[in-house]
């Protein structure tokens, strides 16, 4: 990996800290300041919705300004939105706090663009390794963000957790330190009039569709089950908060830690085989739901869920960058991420509702159609490619 990739890795570890801090604090703060307790998870949901809505804007802005200026702009605006969140907590204003979480989704939308910037900093054959490294930065974000937020929660004596968002503001702004030394690869296009293919033309490509489906449904299954896990464990199965937290922590580790080797596995075995293994891990998760639910059962189930997401999302993203032209990259990336994170938002928003009317076992069974679609699109792409060869 070249210097640019390592600079993006370091910057992303700071910039992406918005996500784990939001997961860590939004429910707690929402419960304490919401006038209607059933709306306590609204700030978290709005942050995901904000990510999905702003993802196209992030891609468009970067197509005009370039990666470096786009990331710096994002760091500054995200820092300001974190200050707005701090003010809303200080004033105990739930509506303003919910709005600030929605706006923080703007920063997360830009943070998700780091993986594409890393892929563009290396040869396309090295893209899976570069993308894997950037996703591994998620572990550092998960350690750095919540720990600093917890450390700073009492800085302001008149407002618990106000200091947490002040720390987050400094943390996101600090990502600029690494971006100063980042040298963006300038893509020279001598054919000025080339606009590239339309979205319909792009998704008509079997490999492009395979990449889109793999990433989208990886997030659908992962978000659907992960969001429901704390409710299923703590509320339905009367397990302790410590046990629930332990399972979620190992799930997050299983999502990002394998990124150290996933790129090498893709390079050795190919995208499709890694996708099949990702589906297999999801199948293990579903199978475990049919046994008596214990902490160990949930633990293995969520570890397999994280592994499946890792294999499918990294292979899907790295396959995507191989199936568009340079003049199409922002259009293709923006559309891909809009679909991926819109589906994630939908899955997350519906998880609690579905679980309230069904069960953990049924929720797992409902994921099977997504796995069938991933397998079908991958088999179809492989078959059509073999025919052309």
pLDDT tens-digit series, residues 105-135: 999 999 999 998 998 888 888 888 888 888 8
DSSP string, 262-290: HHHHHHHH-HHHHHHHHHHHHHHHHHHTT
Residue 23 sits in the same domain as residue 52: yes
pLDDT for res 189: 46
**pTM reported for the whole predicted model:** 0.83
Tell me, yes or no, whether 96 and 216 share the same domain: no
Instruction: Say yes or no: 149 and 204 in one domain.
Output: no
CA separation for the pair 207, 379 (Å, rounded) = 10
Domain boundary among 133, 150, 184: 184
Contact (Cβ atoms closer than 8 angstroms) between residue 13 and residue 140: yes
Judge if 267 and 295 occupy the same domain.
yes
User: Of 184, 210, 241, which marks where a domain is finished?
Assistant: 184
**260, 315: one domain:** yes
Closest by CA to 297, choosing from 212, 388, 232, 355, is 232
* Nearest Cα residue to 173 out of 100, 75, 87: 75
- Residues 305, 225: contact at Cβ < 8 Å? yes
Residue 93 lies in a domain: yes
pLDDT at 317 over 80: yes
The CATH number given to whatever domain includes residue 25 is 1.20.1250.20
Are 307 and 363 members of one domain? yes
Residue 259: alpha-carbon gap to chain centroid: 14
> How far apart are the C-alpha atoms of 183 and 68, rounded to whole Å?
8
User: For the ranges 15-19, 29-33, 97-101, 314-318, which has the lowest average pLDDT?
Assistant: 29-33
Task: Answer yes or no: do 355 and 220 share one domain.
Answer: yes
pLDDT recorded at residue 184: 81
- The total of structural domains in the chain comes to 2
Domain-embedded: residue 193: no
Single out the residue in 131, 157, 184 at which a domain terminates.
184
Q: Are residues 135 and 233 in the same domain?
A: no
What is the distance between the alpha carbons of residues 22 and 26, in angstroms, rounded to a whole number?
5
Q: How many residues does the chain have?
A: 389
Mean per-residue pLDDT for 12-17?
92
Predicted local distance difference test score (pLDDT) of residue 188: 45
346: domain range? 199-389
Nearest to 291 by CA among 358, 360, 372: 360
pLDDT tens by residue, 329-371: 889 998 999 999 899 888 888 887 888 889 999 999 999 999 9
> What's the Cα-to-Cα distance from 155 to each of 144, 147, 163, 209, rounded to whole Å?
17, 14, 5, 49
Residue linked to tokens 């519906």: 350
Residue 19 CB neighbour total at 10 angstroms: 22
Please name the residue that has the structure tokens 């990294």.
314
Q: Are residues 257 and 370 in the same domain?
A: yes
């Amino acid at each position: 990996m070249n210097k640019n990739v390592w600079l993006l890795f370091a910057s992303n570890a700071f910039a992406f800290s918005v996500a784990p801090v939001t997961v860590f604090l939004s429910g707690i703060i929402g419960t304490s300041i919401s006038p209607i307790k059933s709306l306590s998870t609204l700030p978290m949901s709005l942050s995901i919705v904000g990510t999905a809505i702003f993802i196209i804007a992030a891609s468009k802005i970067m197509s005009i300004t370039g990666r470096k200026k786009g990331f710096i702009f994002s760091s500054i605006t995200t820092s300001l939105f974190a200050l707005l969140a701090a003010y809303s907590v200080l004033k105990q204003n739930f509506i303003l706090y919910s709005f600030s979480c929605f706006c923080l989704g703007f920063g997360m939308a830009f943070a998700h663009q780091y993986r594409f910037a890393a892929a563009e900093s290396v040869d396309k054959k090295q893209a899976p390794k570069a993308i894997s490294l950037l996703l591994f930065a998620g572990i550092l974000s998960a350690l750095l963000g919540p720990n600093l937020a917890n450390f700073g929660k009492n800085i302001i004596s008149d407002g618990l957790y106000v200091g947490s968002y002040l720390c987050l503001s400094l943390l996101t702004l600090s990502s600029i330190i690494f971006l100063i030394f980042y040298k963006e690869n300038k893509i020279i296009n001598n054919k000025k009039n080339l606009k590239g293919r339309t979205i319909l033309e792009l998704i008509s490509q079997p490999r492009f569709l395979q990449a889109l489906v793999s990433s989208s449904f990886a997030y659908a299954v992962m978000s659907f089950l992960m969001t429901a896990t704390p409710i299923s464990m703590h509320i339905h199965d009367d397990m302790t908060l410590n046990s629930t937290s332990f399972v979620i922590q190992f799930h997050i580790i299983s999502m990002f830690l394998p990124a150290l080797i996933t790129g090498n596995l893709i390079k050795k075995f190919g995208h499709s085989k890694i996708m099949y293994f990702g589906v297999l891990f999801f199948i293990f998760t579903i199978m475990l739901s049919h046994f008596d639910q214990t902490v160990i059962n949930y633990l293995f189930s969520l570890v397999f869920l994280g592994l499946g997401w890792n294999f499918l999302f990294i292979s899907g993203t790295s396959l995507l960058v191989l199936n568009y032209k340079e003049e199409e990259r922002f259009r293709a990336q923006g559309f891909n991420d809009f679909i991926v994170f819109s589906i994630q938002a939908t899955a997350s928003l519906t998880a609690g509702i579905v679980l309230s009317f069904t069960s953990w076992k049924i929720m797992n069974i409902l994921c099977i159609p997504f796995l069938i679609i991933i397998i079908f699109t991958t088999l179809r792409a492989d078959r059509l490619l073999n025919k052309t060869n």
